[in-house]
Amino acid sequence: MHFFAYPQEMPPVSWNREVPPPSSSASTAELDVISLGRRVRYLRKQAGLTLDDVSAAVGTAPSQLSLIENGKREPKLGLLKQLAAALNVGIEQLLGAEPPSRRAAWKSSSNGTSAGPCTSR
């Protein structure tokens, strides 16, 4: 039973196509956005500021800052400059490779999971 009449022959479907592996640059960029967000949150809390305080200083909605802190949105350069000024740090500290704390370093290396059944604090 044919539902559609094709004016030309359809090429056969190859189900065994090789799919190229995902590029490592995409996952690296994703990790950079996540580490940037963690760094922004850490610096904001160290300064004793709320999302509302920082959003008022940089002129954006608190929900947008929350998305940045959670690694869901990549901020533009202008916003990064404003965030650095609001948090009293240099932009290089926001973009730096070093994690802001030992705990942040542990979370980024292990995705926040422990290797054993129990974790003592």
Q: Taken in order 46, 93, 121, 107, is the CA torsion positive or negative? A: positive
Distance between CA atoms of residues 45 and 47, nearest Å: 5
In the chain, what are the domain boundaries?
29-96
Q: Which ranges in 1-121 belong to alpha helices (H)?
A: 24-46, 51-58, 62-69, 77-86, 91-95, 102-110
| Domain 29-96: CATH superfamily, name plus number | lambda repressor-like DNA-binding domains (1.10.260.40)
3 state SS of 56:
helix
Q: What percent of the chain has pLDDT over 90?
A: 46
Residue 96: predicted pLDDT: 80
DSSP state at residue 59? T
- Summarize pLDDT for 17-33 with one digit per residue, the tens: 565 555 555 556 666 89
Residue 9: predicted pLDDT: 66
Question: Of 14-18, 47-51, 96-100, 104-108, which range is least confident?
Answer: 104-108
Residue 94: predicted pLDDT: 86
